[in-house]
Amino acid sequence: AFIIIVWVTLYSYRRWGYIASLFTFSAITLNNIFIWRSRSGNLDLLASLFVVISFFLLISRYKYKYLLLGFVFGLLYLSKASLVFFPLSITVLHEMIFKRREIKRNIPKYLKCLAVFILTAGVWLVFGYIQGGKEFLTYYLFQSDQGVSSINIFNFKMDYLNFTYYSLQRRFYYLFIVGIVFILLKLKKNEFFLLFLYSASLLVLLSFTKKSNNWYLIPSMPFFALVIGFAASRIVSMLKKYFRKFAIIPVLMFILVGFYISYRTLTINIFPILSTFSTHDQAQSAKMTEKLTKSNDIIVRLDHLYPATIYYSNRKTLASPIDSATKGVFISRDELKKKLLKHEINWLVGTGEQINQYAKDNKDLKFEQIKTNGSEVIARNDTPLTLR
């Protein structure tokens, strides 16, 4: 997240000036969804960094950019699976439009790019298969996106437009729309064509998906900030053009309004989320679970926040949110109860509230609770075997 913030701010400054960079910086650092996922140490930000790198590689003239793109696509696939098709599709479209005369000559480079991509992802998948078997491979290749990539053109919903509106400090959302209009006027240029696709295409596609989660937009958020920075630079240029000698007054007013919106967002939306320790607490409970359990034990989290538990416990981990169905790493509450009664599963992890509620809803099950920190609790299944 830090690298993304610095990178897009510097790019905005070098391309459009200091006022643009101020608005770009504000739009990304005061984006509450972006900052929340950054503070919780989430992989969405690592994946977003790879997306940002792919953008800068595409606009560069670096000699080995196609090899690097293949490597970045491989890493992105390992981070967020089907998300790789977002920059990959843009790359293909970009090459067809802006490099169409060089496509024949570049075929060896494209093949090398593909080979590096397959090799980067393939090596890890092979080791995953050795450790986790066919079930792991099937899940990762075909189910790990959990239906996010399933697009239905008759299923348009406003959720992602609303997510964008609130994540961009509300008032900056209109600056984003203005920026898109300005970019459309310059679409013939390579840089603006890419900026438009990186900022708008994922937003449009997600609006037709079955899922509705605001963090799916994070890979586009650095580009939202760049569009806002560009819009700010164009508005300032227009104010200088029309007001000439007196331009300093409207320009200062424009900047002050931006500062006021940013200040309000910082104090109301950002300060409250800076002190989150949720993922840290999950890591602590997972480490304790590793000490308490055997290597073949299965752990079940009573929410969807399973990544930290998988990583730090080094145990097979399933997730059982209230509305889950048994599929991949998810297990339904009905199936979970059956396995607890048979003692096929003996360990639950979650917040104290989640554990207590589950025990309250299932009074025929008995648990020993082990508190690990301020929020996380481990529950050991102490249900008498006679219930089998």
At 315-353, the pLDDT tens digits run 999 999 987 788 878 899 999 999 999 999 999 999 989
Q: Look at 1-15, 107-121, 123-137, 143-157 and tell me which has the smallest mean pLDDT.
A: 143-157
Four-residue CA torsion sign, 94, 208, 142, 47: positive
Grade residue 375 by pLDDT with cuts at 50, 70 and 90: confident
Q: Is the model's pLDDT at 79 over the cut of 70?
A: yes
Type of residue numbered 53: I
Question: Residue 85: CA atoms inside 13 Å, Cβ hemisphere, count?
Answer: 8
* pLDDT at position 388: 46
Q: How many CB atoms lie within 10 A of CB 35?
A: 20
* pLDDT at position 384: 85
Q: Are 306 and 66 in contact (CB under 8 A)?
A: no
Q: Is the model's pLDDT at 24 over the cut of 60?
A: yes
Q: pLDDT per residue over 178-211, tens digit each?
A: 999 999 999 999 999 999 999 999 999 998 888 7
Q: For the chain, give the number of residues.
A: 388
Q: What is the distance between the alpha carbons of residues 177 and 223, in angstroms, rounded to a whole number?
A: 13
CA distances from 374 to 268, 272, 277, 367 (A): 25, 18, 10, 19
Q: What is the distance between the alpha carbons of residues 190 and 111, in angstroms, rounded to a whole number?
A: 23
Read off the pTM.
0.83
Query: Can you tell me whether residue 378 is helix, strand or coil?
Result: strand
Q: What is the distance between the alpha carbons of residues 302 and 280, in angstroms, rounded to a whole number?
A: 17
Both tokens of 169, joined, read 């400090």
Residue with the bigger pLDDT between 219 and 82: it is: 219
- CB-based burial label for 140 (10 Å; 0-12, 13-18, 19+): buried
Q: What is the distance between the alpha carbons of residues 340 and 155, in angstroms, rounded to a whole number?
A: 38
Q: Is the model's pLDDT at 169 over the cut of 90?
A: no
Q: pLDDT per residue over 29-62, tens digit each?
A: 999 999 988 887 778 999 999 999 999 999 998 8
Q: Are 42 and 48 in contact (CB under 8 A)?
A: no
Q: Please give the span between the terminal C-alpha atoms of the chain, in angstroms, as a whole number.
A: 49
Four-residue CA torsion sign, 279, 282, 283, 284: positive
Both tokens of 376, joined, read 């996380």
Backbone angles phi, psi at 191, to 5 degrees: -60, -45
* pLDDT at position 386: 60
Q: What is the distance between the alpha carbons of residues 326 and 77, in angstroms, rounded to a whole number?
A: 24
Q: What percentage of the chain has pLDDT greater than the value 70?
A: 98
Give 335's contacts (C-beta < 8 A, 6+ positions apart). Answer: 326
Give 185's contacts (C-beta < 8 A, 6+ positions apart). Answer: none
Q: What is the distance between the alpha carbons of residues 313 and 349, in angstroms, rounded to a whole number?
A: 11
* pLDDT at position 236: 94
Q: Is the model's pLDDT at 22 over the cut of 50?
A: yes
Q: What string of DSSP letters covers 111-129?
A: HHHHHHHHHHHHHHHHHHH
* pLDDT at position 344: 93
* Mean pLDDT of the residues in the chain: 90
Both tokens of 93, joined, read 């479209």
- CB-based burial label for 31 (10 Å; 0-12, 13-18, 19+): buried
Q: What is the distance between the alpha carbons of residues 216 and 238, in angstroms, rounded to a whole number?
A: 35
Give 384's contacts (C-beta < 8 A, 6+ positions apart). Answer: 366
Query: Nearest Cα to 70, choosing from 84, 56, 86, 90?
Result: 84
